[in-house]
Amino acid sequence: MTRLLPAHVLALAAVAGLAFGNVMRLEPPPLALGLAGAAVLMLAAGPHDGRLVLAALAVASLGWGWGSARLDALDRSALAPLAGRAGHALLEVTAGARPGRYAQRIPARVLRFDGRGVGRERAELELPLGRSPPQGGLIDALVVVRAPNGPSNGFDERTWLRRQGIHVILKVDGWSQVGRRGGLGGAGDRLRRWLARGSAPGVAGERRAVLEGILLGDDAQLSDGLKTSFQRSGLYHLLAVSGQNVVLLAAGVLGLALLLGLPRWCGHVGALSAIAAYVLAVGPQPSVIRAAVSGGAVSVAWLLGRERDAWHVLILAAVALLAWNPYAVFDAGFELSFAAVVAIFVLAPTIGEWLAGYPGPPGLHTAVSISLACSIATGPLLWLQFGRVPVLGVVANALAEIAVGPLLALAFLAASVDPVAPPLAEALAQLNGWFAAYVAACARVIGAVSFAQLTGRTAAAAAGGSLVAAAYAWRRWQQTTSSRST
């Protein structure tokens, strides 16, 4: 981004307005319309040079009002006053179970409690380890309502859940499934089951768990030891659906359209449909929404005959996420996802130019420059959020990168051919199991190094070093872009 365009300014103003609701709520929210209207009137009468500023103020005011209204909606709860009560509830399970040491947690929506509607409020179910209801299931359960725990051992469960619109935990004493949800949620459940089943037929155990983790962003089936290895090695981001997944999916659809001799516009329409289906299947994670908006923008721009602006698309993805939930600015996934992409735009080219003077294949230089840029940008955030910094992430990612692309491609291909050629899908899945085993081995080997992950003061020093390195690379990037523009 060599210069700030008006579109960037307006999109950033929307982001700032949406996020500012976390600092101060605009009460009442309709006041935003008045502020925006005043700015528009001034815009019409003001000098040309000041119009962009006034337009940005109008957009920020609308964002502030919308963000305040969304935060108010997220903070409302019909169940919180019922803490301590027991009763029958009709629940819609919205995600898979997350087993813990003593119990398992499952996100759900409460359709009815004691025979009354409660506005489909979100809640967290707590069940004993063992049998659990499936994602998308409608269950009738006997529950006890309790408030989440407050701050304890550095973690505030109440605040963490409130930022997701969850204000109560329902302890389930007994349940029975009475149906499945329909609509878009039901379609997403069916797509997820198809992907999970068709991408790894005949593969079981740890290899299947790694495949599902990378393809669907679901680490529930991984052992605690392997999860720790992914965290220590700096590979845990592979278990959150990323832009690479979306890029490979879209490229596969475009390639298929080309092989079938279809017009290019058919390929782009198919890519848009595939991206939308994938988002439904994996759920609205920050990384996948960002990647979906970016990938979708590429196809839309081609269909409309317009050039794509990567920075504008990135900011619009932030607008979409914050418009849905302004609390997302506090979410580690949101912060890490956007910091990594900004690092790829800004830091990776500078690092790549520096690495070009060293021997090695260009592909390795690219992988190392991207991994190093992301490590520099995310190091301070990892320290602030989790108190730890993986320092061997560049090595781990350089080793694992050669397998992740083929793994995703084979997973999508196996799922595509499974309905028509199950033996071929199983053969592809068996081959893919070796790639999954290799990624797990990378995590274990690098994670086992004693200094793979820093904590405490050492982590703080590493995070500070990342900031210094980022500042230096940012300056070099600005100098480079300025010289190119002149």
The per-residue pLDDT for range 383-397, each reduced to its tens digit, is: 777 777 777 777 888
User: Residue 108 has what pLDDT?
Assistant: 93
Q: Which of 173-177, 254-258, 391-395, 476-480 has the lowest mean pLDDT?
A: 476-480
Whether residue 1 lies inside any domain: the answer is no
Percent of the chain clearing pLDDT 70 (strictly above): 82
What element of type H or E holds 120? Answer: strand 116-128
Contacts of 160 (CB under 8 A, 6+ apart): none
Contacts of 77 (CB under 8 A, 6+ apart): 121, 167, 168
Residues 221 and 332 in one domain: yes
| Domain end (from 149, 181, 213) | 181
**372 or 455: which leads in pLDDT:** 372
Residues 129 and 223 in one domain: no
The structure's pTM equals 0.79
Whether residue 22 lies inside any domain: the answer is yes
**Interatomic CA distance for residues 373 and 388, integer angstroms:** 18
**Interatomic CA distance for residues 9 and 396, integer angstroms:** 37
Domain count, the chain: 3
Q: What are 92's two structure tokens?
A: 């819609």
Domain extent, residue 50, equals 6-75
Whether residue 161 lies inside any domain: the answer is yes
Residues 338 and 458 in one domain: yes
385: nearest Cα among 196, 154, 202: 154
Q: Which of 18-22, 279-283, 284-288 has the lowest mean pLDDT?
A: 284-288
Angle CA(128)–CA(212)–CA(167) in degrees, nearest 5? 45
Residues 286 and 340 in one domain: yes
Angle CA(297)–CA(299)–CA(300) in degrees, nearest 5? 60
What element of type H or E holds 344? Answer: helix 332-355
Residues 220 and 253 in one domain: yes
Residue corresponding to tokens 């997350």: 98
- CATH number, position 158: 2.40.50.140
Contacts of 419 (CB under 8 A, 6+ apart): 198
What element of type H or E holds 178? Answer: strand 166-180
Contacts of 152 (CB under 8 A, 6+ apart): none
| Domain end (from 181, 215, 233) | 181
Confidence of residue 1 (pLDDT cuts 50, 70, 90): very low
Whether residue 187 lies inside any domain: the answer is no
**Interatomic CA distance for residues 486 and 24, integer angstroms:** 43
Checking DSSP bridges between strand 151-152 and strand 98-99, what pairing results, if any? unpaired
Residues 351 and 391 in one domain: yes
Residues 99 and 248 in one domain: no
Do 429 and 479 form a contact (C-beta atoms < 8 A)? Answer: no
Confidence of residue 454 (pLDDT cuts 50, 70, 90): low
| Residue 253: pLDDT over 70 | yes
| Residue 95: pLDDT over 60 | yes
Whether residue 188 lies inside any domain: the answer is no
Residues 366 and 476 in one domain: yes
Residues 254 and 125 in one domain: no
What element of type H or E holds 426? Answer: helix 422-447
Whether residue 203 lies inside any domain: the answer is yes
Residues 149 and 218 in one domain: no
Average pLDDT, the chain: 81
Residues 12 and 139 in one domain: no
What element of type H or E holds 486? Answer: none
Residues 64 and 88 in one domain: no
| Domain end (from 75, 93, 114) | 75
**478 or 399: which leads in pLDDT:** 399
What element of type H or E holds 139? Answer: strand 137-146
Whether residue 62 lies inside any domain: the answer is yes
